[in-house]
Chains A and B, each alone.
Chain A
Amino acid sequence: MRIATLGLTGCSGCHVALVSLHEKLLELLKNAELVHSYILTDEKEIPENIDLGIVEGSVRTTHNEEKVKELRDKTKILVALGSCSCFGGVQGLGNVYNVETLLTKVYKQTVTTVEGLIPTKDLPEVFKVKPVTEVVKVDYMIPGCPPEVESIAEVLTAIVQGKTPTLPAKNVCDECPRERRNIPPKELKRLHTGNPDPKICLLEQGYLCMGPATRSGCGAKCPKANMPCEGCYGPCEKAWDQGLAMLDALTAMMGKVLPNFKMETHPGMFYRYTYASSILSKLSKMVKKR
């Protein structure tokens, strides 16, 4: 089996997660050939006849788009690894602004920049973040930021054995050991206020936990570490707009109308990893002033 991996605009955390499979990775590769993986091997070009292509990262430059289309052409199966390729990832939050605003801030306006200019020579063109799933046809998704090592192992093993992998169909609450007393919170608290009780549901205590709107598979590691879920596994199967699903759940639970989240804040809480694939981002295309 010929396997190739590709990294687009992202942080490479999913590749690190892949490497963290350790012995399982060597097992997987025992009967397979890693024909292209820029971080691990020296192969510069994407070869032909790939059986399994794994892509990490979102599409935001012309170079990214070229590469992912090239991989799609040359591979039988394409797997989108991680929330960046599945939903756009955390950099999708930048889609609230237009690209010029973003470039100007980073290359001209930060406190340490002197003689700022926007670099363009020998460089690809930058545009708004798109998940890989909206650029090419993806056969399987492994969501997560990054996906837990166990999730990756499960899906890849299934594919290598010729079986069809499936993603869990429940939400994080299902894996969370905390007690639910069905007493809704009176208001939402910020993360650093108070001291959460480690045994009771975090949302009931007023911390914005994205559990109800997030796909399971991670073992609810964050709530177990006394931190609310950030939603990094993306939306559940049926409620495919994560922020709206959460809004729905919250308005059902809470006594008062939600605090007035501003445009800059709101996606960062409700759509931290999925803004680029949300309906809201598509509706916001009309905002020119940003």
Chain B
Amino acid sequence: MIKKLADKAFKWFCNPEYYPDIRGDLEELYNNHLKNHSKWVQLRYLMDVLLLFRLSLLRPITRNSIIKIKDTGMFKNYFKISVRNLARHKMFTAINVIGLAIGLASFLLIYEYIRFEKSYDSFYTDADQLYRVSYVDVVDGKDGVKDAMSSYLVGDVLNRELPEVVQHTVTKQFDELIARSGESVFKEKRVITADSNFLKLFDYKVLEGDPESMMAQPLSIVLTESRAKAYFGSESAVGKSIEVIAPQSASLLVTGVIEDVPVNTHYKFDILISDKTLELIGEHDYKNWDWNNYYVYLKFAEGANLDGLDEKLAAITKKYVDEENETRLDIHPVRDIYLKSDFTYEPEVLGSEQAVNFLLIISIFILVIAWVNYVNLFTARAIDRAKEVGLRKVIGAFKNQLVGQFMFEAFLVNLIGSIVALIIAELALPVFNQLVGKEIVTNVWNYPTFLLTLLNFWILGSLISGFYPAMVLSGFKPITVLKGKFRTSKSGVNMRKGLVIIQFAASLVLISATFIVYQQVNYMQHRDIGISIDRVVSVTVPHSNAESREEFEQYISKLNSFKETLKNHTAIETVGATSNLPGGSDGDINATTTKVKIVGRTELLDGTTYIQYNDDEFVEAVDMTIIAGRDFDRNVKSDSVAIMVNEAFLQRFGVDEISGVVNQKIQLGTNPENQWKIVGIVKDYNRTTLKIQVEPTLYFPSRSARNLVVELEAQNYQAGLEFLEDTWSEFYPETPIEITFLDNRFELLYDHDKRFGDVFMVFSSLAVLIAILGLYGLASFLSLQRSKEVGVRKVLGASGSQIIYLFYKGFFYLIGISALLGFPLVYFLMNGWLNNYAYRIDFPWLLPVLSLVIVLVFALITVGYQTSKVASVNPAQTLKYE
């Protein structure tokens, strides 16, 4: 057995010239050993064979090489013929190479992007064992609002109750910190709290400090490497302290430095604050099951079975929470959060699996269009090569050899395409990074995964694009071909038509999709969202540091006089204040799951109610519409228990006659003391992206809301802004001012969608370009082939336009069929996409039609250009050889 295997291996690697006698020697030795009754005869044989693996005895690479290529002489010939053919038909070669190169480059860049998007949170050592706990409201047995956050308690409870859970960590996004280090002031936006377990689950490398103890004390912080550099330069950071000025002044001790957090995680941060600090400043609640302000992560044991986990979680919820509570715990793998989460209150704007899938579709479209070009152009040119095939066959070439020849040619063209693709990808990389908004790779030429994919797709592309032409060309019968009565077969023509239809349909889909994405984004940006914010800017006043009632009153009066001072300026119309600025992310709002009822009208109803705190000028400043009742009024004493509601809230209670609700009372929870009088009803307005419906919202009056919205006078815009800055530095000299324009905030919400549209635009243009290139080449070959027919027709009296029409007819028909295919596909894909938006355009049928017209125009120009050339030739030229 061993001997047989060894023999096979030997025969494979040994120089065939030496093989017979060495093999004989081996056999003789083997027999000698057998005769002498030696031990391990077979193994000795194997050893001998292994020792025969020497350079001087190996099969030579070029001739009769290890890879079974038998006639290298022919390969030289194939190469020569291929190169000559490519050089002779320069246009054909250029179209193919450019098409393949653009297609491959686009595909590979998109592929890299997709890989990046899928790599989120996969770099932790135990990434597959990490899960996040979240809350899902259950209303009437159905899932309501899904909240990514959960309460502090949950982590502890689940760790105790579920044997599968090994560790847990609880963390929270902290307010923005303003810190001072020497002369410079830093604004830290990415601050989170963490306990000692945090770095065990998310195992970022600790560069300095003791990982066990660095989170144990309040007021200690851990910096990432780059932040540590910013504060302390090259000195060691541990043991030093950072002075924080806002939200409260405090001195934080640096206890550790960790590596920088990469881009591909859903939970990014620059600074970790020990979560004991929260206790110190009173921002904690370790007992309340409903205080959903933390992200809770669990680490499950390796290979833990998660079947039946939902039931266990339900049982735990029941055990720890009173029966009435209707929430459900939900556990999701951390690796899935970035692409698959549909939760609100996520720590940052996440990616979209759908966008990734769409991109994948585009990239495949582009690649297929490029391959189709190759197939079409090659088979259209079959007549040119037919004689060569015939002759080769007559001389004695086998069909397999011819297939090999044309496959070789496909590999050659694809190789050139791949090399050009690499260059294009490298050059286009900065643009691509900008387009997707992330730096995914800096260089492709030395990026091994990219090169490997390129290699794979070179081979795959050559096989796919080369197979059909090779089969067609190698199948020609020498007699028919050499007799000169050769015509392309019917099935070949049909195949080509089919492929052209696919190309047109793909182009049509991409163009329409681009239009539709832009239309939707445009719609969202210009839809009347119910407030008017063109001239409104916002500033956020620092937190109150009040430790006593008096101090708090001081804070309020300072806030009020700041507002008054602003308002007194002529350039400023109104100054309002709110807890949540319009145009924030979907999680930028308060919410409660407490049951609510309208006293005397309805029972207590389940579900999430959203809450915003406004002062009595907010409505005016952003131009909200009050449809019944009135705004808050600071001069009305009883307005401390007043409340405003929106239409969506009333809809939830099924209230029809809106004005009837004014002056009725709303009760929160079961306590009849907790009642609020409805003074006004506002028209629904979109506080955030139009992906989300307007939520049922309660507006409470607030004195201390610190997000100010300042409505400026249109004429004195600049003066107003200047005055705002000056007044700010008078009132709050400690904190740098940050003015945001509300319309900008809304613009930013659609950044992702706009980017999606841009990506779509760029790549569908490329796809169309490749398709048109292919069509150009195809039309030129077809019209050349029919030049004699054209000559005869002209002799018989056909005019130039009649001939062009003749050519058009064929293409019209193809485009018609591709429209029939493309329209349903566009509808299916894009209607699904539009359904992501609560406020969406109706499916715009006009846009696919417009796209069809565009495709048609391009096709007509291309075909027309080629045919007119043929149609204008003097028939004497084409017919003189007949």
Partners in one complex: no
